[in-house]
Structure 1
Amino acid sequence: MAPDRIQLIGHSMGGRVAPRIATADPSIAGLVLLAADTQPMHVAAVRVARYLAELACGPSAEEAVSALVQQAA
């Protein structure tokens, strides 16, 4: 196996961090990003939490989203 032929595939949040991994490891020759998130990590986390809270309606879901929004700020 030739180390200069390593291709890194990242999906969703994995696609978001794949460029950082490739920067840290010079043996990675290329990237494939699938549904990579382009928002900053803290913004994407809030978006996903809000979506999940809609699926699991209730006060505990809303409290969790509020706590995450405060942490992201």
Structure 2
Amino acid sequence: MGTKRSKHIDLRYHYTRETAALGIITIDGVSSLEIAADGFTKILNSDGFNRFLRYHFSFGESSLYNLFVL
């Protein structure tokens, strides 16, 4: 089971695994582009940041220009 300090992790893991096995929940992978927090917590180059803005905020190229230049 692990140590007393990690018991809560074991319980959460087993609960999640059991509910997924019963079909109560589904576990899907998510691409990094779809995780909204990544744009605020990871270092992105300008292309990555522009992709982040377009994906999450539906900015077009002209909107990006107005947002950062004007």
TM-score past 0.5 threshold:
no
Query: Which one scores higher on RCO, CA 8 angstroms, separation ≥ 6?
Result: 1
Structure with greater Cα Rg: 2
Q: What's the TM-score, normalizing by structure 1?
A: 0.28
Q: What's the TM-score, normalizing by structure 2?
A: 0.28
| Structure (1 or 2) with the greater strand fraction | 1
